[in-house]
Amino acid sequence: MSKPVVVLLGKILHAPKEWQDLSSIATLYEDSSKTKEELIAEFSAGGKFSEAVALFHTHSSGPGFTLSADIIDSFPATLKFICHHGAGYDMIDTDECAKRGIIVSHTPGAVDHGTADTNMFLILGALRNFNQGLNGLRRGEFASTTPLAHDPEEKILGIIGMGGIGRALKKRAEAFGMTVIYHNRKQLSDELADGAKYVTFDELISTADVISLNLPLNAGTKHIINKDTFAKMKDGVVITNTARGAVIDEAALVDALASGKVYSAGLDVFEEEPKIHPGLLENEKVMLLPHLGTHTLESRRGMELLVLDNLKSALISGKVLNITPETAHLQK
């Protein structure tokens, strides 16, 4: 029997040997399409990928980065698995995949530590006005010109989205003396919550001193932080975001910073990356990073290896290890 066809959309940078090792159980192809039309033609009848069973989908640029409904519609009936490189997967139309019976996996766990470290850096920097101090120093100013800031000790950290990253952040925050509350799609078991208190969304945004966004971007979470939610927050709240930029209405955040409702912010992600709202760039009370949450060799290799583990499991058992909620019903 011929081996199942697996197609790589993008590049593998940190686990090339392990990718090639997959050839023992699959026929491997690497996409080189320059346009969406070329990519669709490859998957269509008679195309090079017309018998594909699974995809290794990466964050690399190219026409296969965003898997919209029209691209998914071109996939052959044989294609049953998309194994995505990343915890976030908003660039894949998972609802369309579910309609087509295509299971989508992602890589939670592999990104937890790198993203949580970045998140804690942003919390500390935003609380302590470190960005103002850094910028002032480069202007020849010294510490006396930086406004007095805040310690993390005894502050309430509200985590919105208590998945693996949120739970890793909880441990780091508690080491700095913070108390953690959280809101999630559903309440965690006592074991997973590990002492963090589950609260409603409204209770979290109205009582937390620091609010950290660690939830996926979808139709229900876009602009979950907006003008109305800012109005319910404590005066002087701190906001951090290492999830996806569009979970915050950036224009509303700029206004909240200008009014003092938000004391400071720490952002690793933005609504229209790489474009950044000028009101954020101009405000020194905002810590800005260029999406560095998983920008470590360890995180990137771990993500690629987990994609390969999902692929191997899919090909051997018909099940992925890290299924997305939108396609979970397809896997018995």
Q: 58 and 11 in contact (C-beta within 8 Å)?
A: yes
Q: Give pLDDT, residue 146.
A: 80
- Structure-token pair, residue 250: 């950036």
- Alpha carbon dihedral 299, 303, 305, 306, in 10-degree steps, equals 130
Catalytic residue among 244, 277, 304, 326, which? 244
* Domains of the chain, first to last: 5-110+297-330 (3.40.50.720), 112-288 (3.40.50.720)
Global pTM reads: 0.90
Tokens 């191997």 belong to which residue? 312
One-letter identity of residue 277: H
> 3-state SS of the chain?
CCCCEEEEECCCCCCHHHHHHHHHCCEEEECCCCCHHHHHHHHCCCCCCCCEEEEEECCCCCCCCCECHHHHHCCCCCCCEEEECCCCCCCECHHHHHHHCCEEECCCCCCHHHHHHHHHHHHHHHHHCHHHHHHHHHCCCCHHHCCCCCCCCCCEEEEECCCHHHHHHHHHHHHCCCEEEEECCCCCCHHHHCCCEECCHHHHHHHCCEEEECCCCCCCCCCCECHHHHHHCCCCEEEEECCCHHHECHHHHHHHHHHCCEEEEEECCCCECCECCHHHHCCCCEEECCCCCCCCHHHHHHHHHHHHHHHHHHHHHCCCCCECHHHHHHCC
Of 244, 293, 304, 243, residue with least CA distance to 115: 293
Tens-level pLDDT at each residue, the chain (332 residues): 589 999 999 999 999 999 999 999 999 999 999 999 999 999 998 899 999 999 999 977 688 899 999 999 999 999 999 999 999 899 999 999 999 999 999 999 999 999 999 999 999 999 999 999 999 999 998 877 788 999 999 999 999 999 999 999 999 999 999 999 999 999 999 999 999 999 999 999 999 999 999 999 998 999 999 999 999 999 999 999 999 999 999 999 999 999 999 999 999 999 999 999 999 999 999 999 999 999 999 999 999 999 999 999 999 999 999 999 999 999 97
Q: Is residue 113 flagged as an active site residue? A: no
- Structure-token pair, residue 92: 């894949």
CB atoms within 10 A of CB 135: 12
Q: 307 and 83 in contact (C-beta within 8 Å)?
A: yes
Q: Is residue 291 flagged as an active site residue? A: yes
Q: Give pLDDT, residue 1.
A: 58
Phi, psi of 157 (to 5 degrees): -100, 120
Interatomic CA distance for residues 8 and 11, integer angstroms: 7
| Residue 79 C-beta-side C-alpha neighbours within 13 Å | 26
Q: Compute the C-alpha angle 70/243/167, nearest 5°.
A: 125
Q: Is residue 153 flagged as an active site residue? A: no
Strand order in the sheet with 179-183: 197-198, 179-183, 156-160, 210-213, 237-241, 262-267, 286-288
Catalytic residue among 30, 38, 272, 273, which? 273
Catalytic residue among 59, 100, 291, 295, which? 291
> For 291-316, what is each residue's pLDDT tens digit?
999 999 999 999 999 999 999 999 99
Q: Give pLDDT, residue 205.
A: 98
- Structure-token pair, residue 234: 């404590």
| Residue 65 C-beta-side C-alpha neighbours within 13 Å | 8
- Omega before 274 cis (within 30°)? yes
Please name the residues in contact with 200: beta carbons below 8 A apart, sequence gap of 6 or more: 183
